Amino acid sequence: MATVLFYILGFTMLAATLLCITRRNPVHAVIYLVAGLFALALMFYLLGAPLVAAWQVIVYAGAIMVLFLFIIMMLGLAPQDVPEGPSWQRWGPLALLSSSIMICTLLLIFKDPMAGQQIDDFYLAPQVLGEALFSRYALAVEIVSFQLLFATIGAYMLGRPLPKGEDQ
């Protein structure tokens, strides 16, 4: 049952992503992407990662995508501001490139003997993950927290009003 659900979710996710990347309007693209991310969060859950799944919903679908929408709205991108979407002439070489990469990736995956093996049932309790995070990976957590701090400062610096004369 879980296995079937996993594959259904996987293809849902790919379909939503495909729709997302072909949209001209970023608002539509973000909506499709949110759908894809929900599906991905459920896949995480099925792979025994309830905490990651929860955060995927909260941080990705909740915060980051809302941030995207917020920026789009803040800049007031009227439909005429949205640049021309992908011209269909560009599809040709791109399709070739993407499909080649895709084939290579899949071939690489399935050539490996590990690919045929099954994933056993696995469930990681959030407490265990939390313990690992704050004991073995405490330094990494600190570094990432600094990263977030710097990003905040950077975003603040970039967001200040432009000096006079630098417009346009």
Partner 1 sequence: MNESLLFLILLLPLFCAVFNMLFGMRLPRLFTEVMAVIGVAGAFVLTLLFWGYAEGDGSRAVLFTWLNSGTLNVSFALNFDRLAAPMTLMVTGVATLIHLYAVGYMREEDDYARFFSLLNLFVFAMLVIVLADNLLVLFLGWEGVGFCSYGLIGFWYRKLENAKAGTKAFLVTRVGDVFLGIAMLWLFALTGTLSISAINAQAALISPGVVIVLSLLLLLGACGKSAQLPLMTWLADAMAGPTPVSALIHAATMVTAGVYLLCRFFPLVSLSAVAMTAITAIGALTAIYAASCAMAQRDIKRVLAYSTMSQVGYMFMAVGAGTVAGAMFHLLTHAFFKAVLFMAAGCIIHLGGGENNIFKMGGLARRGPAELFWVFLAGAVCLAGLPLTGGFFSKDSILLALYTYPDPVYRVFWLIGIVTALLTSFYTFRLVYLVFAGEWRGSGHPHALPLLMRWPLWPLALLGLAGGMFNLPAFLGGGEALHHWYGTMAGRMLTASHDVEWMLAGLAAAIAVVGWFAAHWRYRTYQAPLENALSRFLLSGWQADALVDRFFIRPFNAMALFSWIGCDRTLFDGSLEGLARTATRCGALLLKITTGRLTTYLSAFAWGFLILLGWFLLKLVEGGGH
Partner 2 sequence: MISFGHALAFAGALFVLGLTCVLLHRQILMILIGVEIMLNGASLVFVAASAYWQQVDGQVFALLLMAITAAEVAVALAMVVYLWRRKRTLVADEFNRMRG
Subset of 76-135 contacting partner 1 (CB under 8 A): 97, 100-101, 104-105, 107-108, 111-112
Residue 137 partner contact from partner 1, partner 2, none using kind-dependent CB cut-offs of 5 to 8 Å: partner 2
Q: Which residues are within 8 A (CB) of 133 and not within 5 positions of it... i.e. 6 or more apart? A: 141
Q: Taking Cα atoms as reference points, which of 101, 95, 61, 77 lies closest to residue 24?
A: 77
The dihedral sign for the CA sequence 96, 98, 101, 106: negative
- Restricted to residues 53-82, the positions that interact with partner 2 (CB under 8 A) are 55-56, 59-60, 63-64, 67-68, 71-72, 74-75, 77, 81-82
11-17: long-range pairs with CB below 8 Å, 24+: 12/36, 12/39, 13/39, 13/40, 13/43
- Own/partner contacts of 54-61, CB < 8 Å, gap of 24 or more, are 61/34, 61/37
- Give the nearest distance from C-beta 74 to partner 1 in angstroms: 22
Residues in the interface with partner 1 (CB under 8 A) total 9
Encoded one letter per residue, x for contact with partner 2 by CB under 8 A and - for no contact, window 103-142 reads --xx--xx-x-xxxxxxx-x-x---xx--xx---x--xx-
- Please report how close the Cβ of residue 88 comes to partner 2 at its closest, in angstroms: 11
The site for partner 1 (CB under 8 A) is made up of 97, 100-101, 104-105, 107-108, 111-112
